[in-house]
Structure 1
Amino acid sequence: MSNTKVTEQEFHSIKKCFRSGATSKEVQAEFKRGETIIRRIKKARSWPAYQAGNKARIERRKEQGLLDTNLSKKQSQGGSSRLMGN
C-alpha cells in the first residue's frame, strides 16, 4: 500500500475503472491502494468533493486528538502522568 497522497489524475483513473465495472478488490490491486482510500474515492462524486471529505476527516481527527499519534482518544487525554514521573 502506498502512503503518498492521491493525485487528481489517479482519482479520475480510479473512478473510470469503477465506471467500467471493476470491483473494489480489482481496483485495489491495480492501483496498490488500501481499501479505505478506494472506498472513499468510490463514494466521492467529484475531485473537489473528495478533497473536502479529506479535509473534514483531518479536522475531525484533530479534534479527537488522533491525528498525529496511534493512541486512542482515551490514551491521548490521560495516562501521561506515568511519563511525567508522578
Structure 2
Amino acid sequence: MASGVTDRRPDPASPACSAHLADDAYMGFAGPAEVRAFLTEIDADERAGRPIAGKIEKMLPRIRDDGLHRALAERLDARKRAESDA
C-alpha cells in the first residue's frame, strides 16, 4: 500500500441518530401536560359555543400521537363544516 493509505475507515464524527429517543417537547411536539391543557381548553370553548377550529389548526402540527392527531383532524373537519353552515 502507498504511504498514508489504510483500509481502516475513520470513526464517524457523530453517533447514530437517536431522535426517536428524544422528549416530544425537544422535538417540537406538545408535551403531555400541554396536550391535556389544550384538550381541556377546547372542550370548554366548545361547550361555551366559542369557535375551536383555529385553535385545533394551530395545535395539529405539534401533536405526535397518530390516534389523537387523527381524532383532532376529524373534529376540525366537523367544526369547519359546522362553522361554515352557521
**TM-score, normalization: structure 1?**
0.31
Query: Which one has the largest radius of gyration?
Result: 2
**TM-score, normalization: structure 2?**
0.31
